[in-house]
């Protein structure tokens, strides 16, 4: 027989199961984003920054040496080591849907500059 709790209320196995089930249901109910979750602007910006860094590092000779300064909107500057081990100096980058545009590797310098002005200077 179930033990008697306060005021003669009986907690049996079924009662304990019901309490656990209700607690689990409340834990699974979606909550409104309070600005600290994956829908927050801070999270999206951090995710964008990481994506841009990964794309830039894939294009560098020494990805571990990369030093980033982010401007936002997938734009920034990077400094990294060359084949001789010396730092090359900051170069601008723009994160694209299919990769990244690095200033020194751009075959169309004016196209890069126009894209930089339109996408990166607006922030």
CA distance 23 to 41: 31
14 domain-assigned = no
Judge whether 80 lies within some domain. Answer: yes
**Is residue 78 predicted with pLDDT exceeding 60?**
yes
37 and 45 Cβ atoms separated by less than 8 Å: no
Instruction: Output the average pLDDT for the chain.
Output: 80
The residue to which tokens 């999206």 are assigned: 44
Classify residue 51: in a domain, yes or no. Answer: yes
What residues contact residue 90 under an 8 Å CB cut-off, 6+ apart?
69, 77, 78, 79
The answer to whether residue 116 is domain-embedded is yes
Q: Indicate the SS3 state at residue 61.
A: coil
pTM, two decimals, is 0.66
**Residue 6 resides in a domain:** no
> Measured between alpha carbons, how far is 110 from 19 in angstroms, rounded to an integer?
67
Domain count, the chain: 1
Contacts of 98 (CB under 8 A, 6+ apart): none
Cα–Cα distance, 106 to 45 (Å, whole number): 25
> Is 100 part of a structural domain of the chain?
yes
Q: Is residue 71 part of a domain?
A: yes
The domain in which residue 80 lies consists of 41-120
Judged against a pLDDT cut of 90, whether residue 67 lies above it is answered with yes
The answer to whether residue 24 sits within a structural domain is no
């Amino acid at each position: 027989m179930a033990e008697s709790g306060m005021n003669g209320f009986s907690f049996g196995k079924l009662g304990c199961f019901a309490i656990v089930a209700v607690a689990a249901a409340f834990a699974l109910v979606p909550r409104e984003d309070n600005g600290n979750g994956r829908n927050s602007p801070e999270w999206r910006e951090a995710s964008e920054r990481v994506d841009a860094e990964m794309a830039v590092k894939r294009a560098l000779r020494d990805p571990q040496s990369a030093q980033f300064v982010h401007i936002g909107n997938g734009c920034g500057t990077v400094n990294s080591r060359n084949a001789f081990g010396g730092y090359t100096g900051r170069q601008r980058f723009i994160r694209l849907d299919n990769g990244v545009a690095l200033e020194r590797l751009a075959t169309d310098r004016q196209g890069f500059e126009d894209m930089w002005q339109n996408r990166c200077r607006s922030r």
